[in-house]
Amino acid sequence: MAIESQRENNMITQLSDDIFLPRMVKVKQTFDDSHLAVEDIPRIVIELLDVPKFKDQIKEGMSIAITSGSRGVANIALITKAIVDFVKSCGAHPFVFPAMGSHGGATAEGQLEVLTSYGVTEEYLGCPVRATMETVEVGRLDDGMPAFTDKYAFEADGVILCGRVKAHTAFRAPHESGLMKMSVIGMGKQHGAMTVHESGFNNMGKLMPRVAKVIFDHVNVLGGVATIENAFDETYKLVALTKDEIWTEEPKLLLEAKSKMGGLLFDELDVLIVDQIGKDVSGDGMDPNVTGRFACADSASGGVNVQSIAVLDLTVDTHGNFNGIGMADVVSKRAIDKMNPDATYPNAFTSTVFDVVKIPMFAHSDKTVVRLGIRKCNGIDKKNPRIVRIKDTNHVETIEISEALLQEAKMNPRIQILSEPYEWKFDENGNLF
């Protein structure tokens, strides 16, 4: 079987060998780079929380659960530790728990591994980290739908949410990714997340607040610390919200977060080459708000208009989770070899979105992957393909563009040309890295 697969790949390589590869140019896209100094973050978090509306809720000896997610939030360990230190200063007993739905392979061990990879450990935080996939049904909606939350969070005297506010990858609503989603999907673990996703992303914007109300009515959520990031994956803003303020203020933060997002400053592309995807980059591996390739195109849209997407690798911190690979048209064998179905399929099972984990056509070298990406395009100038190459969807400042995009880039005041055109830099195996 392996020999046959290799023979087929060699034939594909031969068939694509004459596909023209245009010269590339390195350019810099300009975005707002305002951000908080890392060394100031602990002080800012504590100052935000050290006010009566939060401090008066925490009594000496209380057990306080603090959420921690799986999205690769900038400075997450530092922010979490600051919350822990604040809770301790109130004389209470904090602990951190994974609030990441079905991520980490839907196991307590897998979720702890994800937190450890972000530096969220007992040693660093100075408090326990408690992981379980057990949930408690805390109540029901008026239509009988149950609402679930993490067992340890339910048993705690209070819960402090911590999460990033940003555009969701599959639906549009006043509340998308943020503290409310953390309380419903993250704290709901696999059981709760699956229940909410059952109705589909078309209904998520309306359903999530309804479930959140039940959870807030039965779990002592004290409030949360929301973070907004700029286009460079840096902490732009930190805001502390009470439970009631999450309803009114998080939608405003979402609009602000969307205004700070990075993207591609081109409307139409033939091929987008993404060096790496992963759950630490986006819930969909590569953010469709950048790529324009949405798994749930009937409930969300945005990004660039592109015919073909090629993916070359998985990130280290995705731990084999290849969610999002199905949105690519062609991938490298390198990425295929790193795939871990056990770390990935529970996520698709829970979300009911299976397309994102389908395995596309693959090739053994990056050179063939790029050529196949071009070949997939219809109705384009094959001698002047419009190509963009990015590291991942979180890093879109310095990118590569093909010569066909050069004139357009020169006319955009937000794009700086950094190099003369150059040939692709493949190694002896036809790879870019």
Residues in Cβ contact with 241 at an 8 Å cutoff, skipping those fewer than 6 apart? 179, 223, 224, 225, 226, 249, 250
Q: What is the pLDDT of residue 2?
A: 45
Q: What is the pLDDT of residue 297?
A: 79
The residue range of the domain holding 122 is 38-259
- Contact between residue 352 and residue 197 where contact means Cβ atoms under 8 Å apart: yes
Whether 432 is covered by a domain: the verdict is: no
Nearest-angstrom CA–CA distance, 229 and 395: 12
Whether 166 is covered by a domain: the verdict is: yes
For 144-149, the CB contacts below 8 A with 24+ separation are 145/195, 145/211, 146/195, 147/184, 147/188, 147/192, 147/195, 147/211, 147/214, 147/215, 147/218, 148/188, 148/189, 148/191, 148/192, 148/195, 149/183, 149/187, 149/188, 149/192, 149/215, 149/219
> Is residue 317 located within the same domain as residue 230?
no
Lowest pLDDT segment from 4-8, 14-18, 175-179: 4-8
Is pLDDT at 9 greater than 80 in this prediction?
Answer: no
User: In this predicted model, what pLDDT tens digit does every residue of 69-110 receive, in sequence order?
Assistant: 977 899 999 999 999 999 999 999 999 999 999 888 889 999
> Is residue 106 located within the same domain as residue 188?
yes
> Is residue 53 located within the same domain as residue 154?
yes
Question: Do β-strands 135-140 and 93-98 pair in parallel, antiparallel, or remain unpaired?
Answer: unpaired
Region 116-127 average pLDDT: 96
Of 15, 19, 24, 31, whose CA–CA distance to 273 is shortest?
A: 24
- Within 10 angstroms of residue 13's Cβ, the number of other Cβ atoms is 17
Mean pLDDT of the chain: 94
User: In this predicted model, what pLDDT tens digit does every residue of 49-62 receive, in sequence order?
Assistant: 999 999 999 999 99
Nearest-angstrom CA–CA distance, 44 and 296: 37
Question: Which of 259, 281, 298 is the last residue before a domain boundary?
Answer: 259
Label residue 387 by pLDDT band (50, 70, 90).
very high
Whether 427 is covered by a domain: the verdict is: no
Q: How many domains does the chain have?
A: 2
Is pLDDT at 267 greater than 90 in this prediction?
Answer: yes
Check which CATH number belongs to the domain holding 192 and give it: 3.40.50.11440
Whether 426 is covered by a domain: the verdict is: no
Q: What is the pLDDT of residue 295?
A: 87
Region 175-196 average pLDDT: 93
> Is residue 223 located within the same domain as residue 365?
no
Question: Which of 211, 240, 259 is the last residue before a domain boundary?
Answer: 259
Is pLDDT at 4 greater than 60 in this prediction?
Answer: no
User: In this predicted model, what pLDDT tens digit does every residue of 248-261 receive, in sequence order?
Assistant: 999 999 999 999 99
Whether 425 is covered by a domain: the verdict is: no
Q: What is the pLDDT of residue 429?
A: 92
Whether 429 is covered by a domain: the verdict is: no
Is pLDDT at 152 greater than 80 in this prediction?
Answer: yes
Label residue 1 by pLDDT band (50, 70, 90).
very low
Region 18-23 average pLDDT: 96
Tokens, residue 326: 């199905």
Is pLDDT at 5 greater than 80 in this prediction?
Answer: no
> Is residue 311 located within the same domain as residue 336?
yes
Of 266, 206, 277, whose CA–CA distance to 402 is shortest?
A: 266
Nearest-angstrom CA–CA distance, 418 and 420: 7
> Is residue 313 located within the same domain as residue 168?
no
Residues in Cβ contact with 231 at an 8 Å cutoff, skipping those fewer than 6 apart? 31, 32, 33, 260, 261, 262, 263, 396, 397
Tokens, residue 41: 């973050």
- Output 169 or 37, whichever has higher pLDDT: 37
Region 24-52 average pLDDT: 97
Q: What backbone phi and psi angles, to 5 degrees, belong to 33?
A: -105, 20
Whether 422 is covered by a domain: the verdict is: no
Q: Which helix (H) or strand (E) holds 227?
A: strand 221-229
Per this entry, what is the length of the chain? 433
User: In this predicted model, what pLDDT tens digit does every residue of 389-402 receive, in sequence order?
Assistant: 999 999 999 999 99
- Within 10 angstroms of residue 46's Cβ, the number of other Cβ atoms is 15
Lowest pLDDT segment from 39-43, 267-271, 302-306: 302-306
Label residue 3 by pLDDT band (50, 70, 90).
very low
User: In this predicted model, what pLDDT tens digit does every residue of 223-235 receive, in sequence order?
Assistant: 999 999 999 989 9
Nearest-angstrom CA–CA distance, 397 and 349: 34
> Is residue 242 located within the same domain as residue 164?
yes
Lowest pLDDT segment from 11-20, 243-252, 411-420, 424-433: 11-20
Is pLDDT at 320 greater than 50 in this prediction?
Answer: yes
Residues in Cβ contact with 337 at an 8 Å cutoff, skipping those fewer than 6 apart? none
Nearest-angstrom CA–CA distance, 256 and 259: 5
> Is residue 312 located within the same domain as residue 244?
no
Q: What is the pLDDT of residue 6?
A: 52
> Is residue 359 located within the same domain as residue 216?
no
Whether 375 is covered by a domain: the verdict is: yes
Is pLDDT at 299 greater than 90 in this prediction?
Answer: no
Q: What is the pLDDT of residue 330?
A: 98
- Contact between residue 393 and residue 274 where contact means Cβ atoms under 8 Å apart: yes
> Is residue 22 located within the same domain as residue 69?
no
> Is residue 284 located within the same domain as residue 388?
yes
> Is residue 214 located within the same domain as residue 252?
yes
